[in-house]
Amino acid sequence: MSEVALRPQGLDEALAERRHELRSPEVVMAPRQLGAARLTRYSFSRTLLRRAAREGWQARLVELDMDAEGRGHAIYRTEAGDRVFDFVAFTTTVDESLHTDRVIAEAWEVCGALVDGAVDADYLEVLRREVPRQEDARLDPRVLVLTRGNRSVRFFGYLVDRLAAGLQPEADKVADAGYILRSTAFYGNGKFGMRSYLGYPEGHPLRSPYRAQFLCAWMFRELGYDQVEHCARARGGDRAVRFAGDWRRYFGLGNATGLGLVPYAFKHPRVLNAWAGVRELALANVRSLPATPKRLDTLRRWVDRAVVHFETIGGGDRPPWLGPTTLAGRARRVRARIDEVAGDPAPFDALFRWAEDEDVETCELVVSLLVELDEGLDDDLVDHFLRVDEEVVVDPLTTAADLRSLLGERYAWLDGLDLEGDGHYWWVISDNSDEPRRVVRSALEPDNHDVAIDVARRLHALGRCLDDLPDDAAVGTLLAEAPHHASAVRRLLGGGQPYGEPRDDACAAGYLPLEVQRFQLAMYGMDNYSPKSTDWLRVTLFQGAPRCDDLGPETTDDWVWPPRPTEASA
Amino acid sequence: MAVTVAPREVVDEIHRASRALGLNADLADRLAVEIAFCEVHHGGGLAAWADLVAADGDRLADAAHVPFRMTGAEVEARTTGTARIDLEPAVPLAVLARSIRDLDRRGICCTPSPDGRPGTDLVAALDLAVGDPDPTADARIAERSQDALNHGVTVDADLWRLLRGRSHDFLVAESVLDAAHVEGEGGI
């Protein structure tokens, strides 16, 4: 059978064909449900490492030139098939008072770039000049990703002290710290002169959405370990030790995420649809599976892993979300429920239906756990589904009657929102690091500086306009007279994907950015969601993941939700 | 002097700069797509945009309307077989090159043809007629687009600097946002 024959349909067809088996868009795209999403086996961090292991990628540190405080540079090389990718990081130290998670910070302890190809001495100097400039950098298409971050103020020094003294970390001292370094941005796709994502040629190992960013993030995480061990050696000499036992993998990469994700979510409905659609197809696959001892054992192992992970992290709730201790309790209830449904002819469906009636976090935890059992989607197919074509063709002969009909069919949920008036907020880009922000309209008028993510309001306004048009009025004529409806028309005609639209108004007074942010972060493969305000949060990625040295044919995919190491396990 | 930029940067910068110059989001969106397409496939996109900005009056806004006027003309052409748009004053090819390509894909031929002409060439009138799509055009355009996505597009450094300066005006100063009590640091 040819490869093409294995992919008889695209995502849209798959979702349409199986729509009666899938969760409804009203449920999946409801803000609270989005805000309860968790990573799955199809999240980008997971698919990257599975592919790297399957295709025999090799990754290693090739150069580390740092002083005793960890200031200097490092180069990590990944060999993927016949291609080489170098992650180059420039490191320094900044005063603790200048540490901030915000993307608008001006000082960073780590600035890095992922380069397509091996970096020679001359190019290293180019990168040394440009990469620390971040948003002011002028890069070239050899560069795929630009990133930056800081050390964990609480733990970097502590970890150095311990290793320098010949000791491993103490479990109770790291508490909920799941990382050594904390990143804050992974720019790519043509920004600052970098390669455009759509420019990656056929067969390129990183030609899947966000794969380059996640390779970069995985290297960034590796840098944290190497920096700590380097500083410990410099301080402790022969007495110093390296991370050992379960500590070798325990730390992930921290990330601080702000409002930058929100405009993306509202501007790319087909991308959101693909992310959610893959998960929903996988869930439907698993719900239809009959029980086997092996499947039930696998599910129990995953739930046990979740229980231990959340329990050992510990800590109270993180409003508006549950915290690790509560989640551990929820996971224990899931574990008990599995035993109750194990004899059911469709136990996974029964488990899901039970979870649906619980709170949203329990429900999405169960979804994440169940998707671990999926046998129906292979990684190539998922990559295929995730590469979406975002072009929308507007046929000018489309009539007002057609548009009205589509609006009712695809956007009936707008009726549940209060879309009269201008909205409480408008969205703006700050001159400091291009960071999106939202402003209360009564405090500052947009005056043509607004970022147009008011999708719901634009569609609502289009609907009002259509009410006044005859059925046979052509959209081409409408746009000639009222071009300010163009984006709404394009959205309407290009829509129709079930999971493309967060059912929300980003300009409403009660809008909570955290919800769509968490959905995106979960799809990336991040966890340990820790909100710091209504608008930004901290997360961890690659916690428990294989290190560069671990990558090989035996690399397994069961690394997420690691238990915190104990003295015995270290 | 030249600088290599990604096509999406041209889109982003033209959009922002045009917003800062008073265009609404929809006009700026379309104009940005047209200019970027022209820069990649014909050259002269940025130069044409700069000429419009430098001109008196509402030249930029009027030019940004032209792609939408073309959709209206397409309705007429597909109903009657032909249509004509008179452009007074004439507009640079750069603001409608992408729309001409789109029309061609839908079987509407435009005169004058943009082939071989830079984006700064002025167009005083556009004739539309139902015809046959050029079967080779898509492949030719796709190849050039892919090359630009992969390797970037080379633009004049002075024009790029001018554009960047204008686009910066779209951003709002952090101090203004702070004074307006911007959200983002609040509790939950």
Convert the pLDDT of each residue in B67-119 to its tens digit: 999 999 999 999 999 999 999 999 999 999 999 999 999 999 999 999 999 99
The count of CB pairs under 8 A between chains A and B is 165
Neighbours of A202 (CB within 10 A): 6
Residue of A nearest to B18 (CA): A448
* Beta strand A179-188 pairing with A252-257: parallel
Asked if A191 reaches chain B (Cβ–Cβ under 8 Å), the answer is yes
pLDDT band at A5 (very low <50, low <70, confident <90, very high): very low
pLDDT of A311: 95
User: DSSP labels for B129-156?
Assistant: EE----TTHHHHHHHHHHHHHHH-EEEE
Chain-centroid distance of CA A412 in Å reads 29
Pairing of strands A425-429, A110-116: unpaired
Q: How does the average pLDDT of chain B come out, rounded?
A: 93
- With an 8 Å Cβ cutoff, are A438 and B72 in contact? no
Q: Cα(A112)–Cα(A128) distance, rounded to whole angstroms?
A: 9
A190–chain B Cβ distance below 8 A for any pair: yes
Interface of A with B in 4-33 (CB under 8 A): none
Summarize the confidence of residues A229-238 as an average pLDDT.
98
**Residues near A244 by beta carbon (within 8 Å), at least 6 away in sequence:** A168, A570
Average pLDDT in the B115-141 region?
A: 91
Chain B closest-CA separation from residue A395 CA (Å): 9
- Tell me the pLDDT of chain A averaged across its residues: 94
Q: pLDDT tier at B181 (50, 70, 90 boundaries)? A: low
Task: Check CB contact of A245 with chain B, cutoff 8 Å.
Answer: no
- Scan for tokens 């129709």, then name that residue: A496
Question: What are the pLDDT digits (tens) for A518-567?
Answer: 999 999 999 999 999 999 999 999 999 999 999 998 899 999 999 999 87
- Using one digit for the tens of pLDDT, what is the confidence trace for A340-376? 999 999 999 999 999 999 999 999 999 999 999 999 9
Is B4's CB within 8 Å of A193's CB? yes
Name the phi and psi angles at A540, rounded to 5.
Answer: -130, 145
**Confidence band (pLDDT; 50, 70, 90) for B186?**
very low
Chain A residues within 8 A of B26 when measuring between CB atoms: 452, 483-487
Segment A10-14 shows an average pLDDT of 94
Q: What is the DSSP string of A263-274?
A: HHHHH-HHHHHH
CB contact (8 A) between residue A440 and residue B24: no
**How many other β-carbons are positioned within 10 Å of the β-carbon of residue A2?**
6
Helix, strand, or coil (residue A314): coil
CA distance B111 to B147: 28
Average pLDDT over residues A25-32: 98
Cα gap B5→A497, rounded to integer Å: 33
Q: Where are the domains of chain A?
A: 3-37+269-388, 45-258, 400-494
Question: How is chain B split into domains, by residue range?
Answer: 2-184
Set of chain A residues whose Cβ sits within 8 Å of the Cβ of B15: none
CA distance B117 to chain A (A): 25
| Alpha-carbon span A474 to B75, nearest angstrom | 7
Does residue B32 sit in helix, strand or coil?
A: helix
Which of the residues B9, B12, B26 would you substitute to probe the A interface, choosing the one with the greatest number of A C-beta atoms within 10 Å?
B26
pLDDT given at position B134: 77
Q: Which residues of A touch B7 (CB under 8 A)?
A: 190, 196
d(CA A465, CA A469): 7
Q: Which of A259, A389, A431 to mutate to test the interface with B (most CBs of B within 10 A)?
A: A431
Q: Are B33 and B145 in contact (CB under 8 A)?
A: no
Assign 3-class secondary structure to A218-250.
HHHHHHHHHHHHHHHHHHHHHHCCCCCCCHHHH
Average pLDDT over residues A445-467: 96
Distance, in Å, from the CA atom of A510 to the CA atom of A505, rounded to the nearest integer, reads: 9
Region B142-160: what's the mean pLDDT?
96
Q: Which residues of A touch B177 (CB under 8 A)?
A: 428, 430, 437, 439, 444
Mean pLDDT of the region A306-328: 96
pLDDT-derived band at A102, boundaries 50, 70, 90: low
CB contacts of A192 in chain B (<8 Å) are 9
Q: What is the pLDDT of residue A1?
A: 34
Q: What is the per-residue pLDDT for B135?
A: 78
DSSP, collapsed to helix, strand or coil, labels residue A299 as: helix
Which residues does chain A have within 8 Å of residue B152's beta carbon, measured at their own beta carbons? Answer: 140-141, 193
Average pLDDT over residues A33-42: 98
Is pLDDT at A4 greater than 50 in this prediction? no
pLDDT in tens, A265-299: 999 999 999 999 999 999 999 999 999 999 999 99
- Report yes or no: A99 and A89 within 8 Å, Cβ to Cβ: no
- Among chain A residues, the shortest Cα distance to B16 is held by A449
pLDDT at A295: 97
Alpha carbon distance, N-terminus to C-terminus of chain B: 51
CB B151 to CB A199 under 8 A? yes
**Phi–psi pair at A535, nearest 5 degrees:** -120, -10
Cβ of B171 and A425 within 8 Å?
A: no
Task: Quote the CA–CA distance of A197 and B8 in Å, as a whole number.
Answer: 10
A123-179 tens-digit pLDDT = 999 999 999 999 999 999 999 999 999 999 889 999 999 999 999 999 888 867 799
Residue at token pair 């892993």: A305
Q: Which residues of A touch B185 (CB under 8 A)?
A: 533, 535
pLDDT beyond 80 at A427: yes
**pLDDT band (50, 70, 90) for residue A6:** very low
Q: What is the ipTM of this complex?
A: 0.95
Q: Is A140 on the interface with B (CB under 8 A)?
A: yes
pLDDT for the residue A99: 67
pLDDT at A250: 95
Predicted TM-score (pTM) of the model is 0.95
| Averaged pLDDT for residues A495-515 | 96
Task: Identify from B101, B138, B182, B185 which residue to disrupt to test chain A contact, counting A C-beta atoms within 10 A and taking the largest count.
Answer: B182
Of chain A, the end-to-end C-alpha distance in Å amounts to 48
- CA gap A513, B165 in Å, rounded: 31
> Which one, of B31, B100, B8, lies nearest residue A197 by Cα?
B8
Chain A hits for B6, CB-CB cut-off 8 Å, are 141, 189-191, 193-196
Nearest CA in chain A to B68: A480
Q: How confident is the model at residue A106 (pLDDT cuts 50, 70, 90)?
A: low
Distance from CA of B57 to the nearest CA of A (A): 18
